[in-house]
Amino acid sequence: MTIEEFIEARLDEREEAATAVLEHEGSWRADGFELEYSWVRFIGPPGRPNQSSTFWSGAPTPAEVLRQCAALRLALEFWQGLTRLRTIAAIWSDHRDYQQDWANS
């Protein structure tokens, strides 16, 4: 896998997750309380994630995530083949497909 393919795969994952949240966003009314549901992050092993809310100040919204992905895709296109891609790939340095030699090249 090239560094470009790695970055594109990570952006695809983020866009898919943010789009899914936007499609299911809404509010629910129960017992006189209205809860606005906006962004939930799932943490845990594949297939068995634990739900964790991201309602803290400064947490990115799904729309912000989509804009970030669009900006990173433009950078990826502009910097194709350049060492600056190492900086973008480092965002996911804890991903199982990340190659440590990208950090050292």
Q: Which residues of 8-26 are buried (b: 16+ CB within 10 A; e: fewer)?
A: eebbeebbebbeebeeeee
pLDDT at 36: 46
Output the average pLDDT for the chain. 75
Q: In which band, very low, low, confident or very high, does the pLDDT at 48 lie, cut at 50, 70 and 90?
A: low
Burial class (CB in 10 A: 0-12, 13-18, 19+), 40: middle
Backbone angles phi, psi at 96, to 5 degrees: -65, -25
| Closest listed residue to residue 14, CA positions, set 53, 64, 75 | 64
Query: What are the pLDDT digits (tens) for 66-94?
Result: 899 999 999 998 888 777 899 899 999 99
Helix (H, G, I), strand (E, B) or coil at 14: helix
- DSSP element (H, E) containing 50: strand 50-53
Sign of the C-alpha dihedral, residues 15, 17, 20, 25?
Answer: negative
pLDDT of residue 105: 61
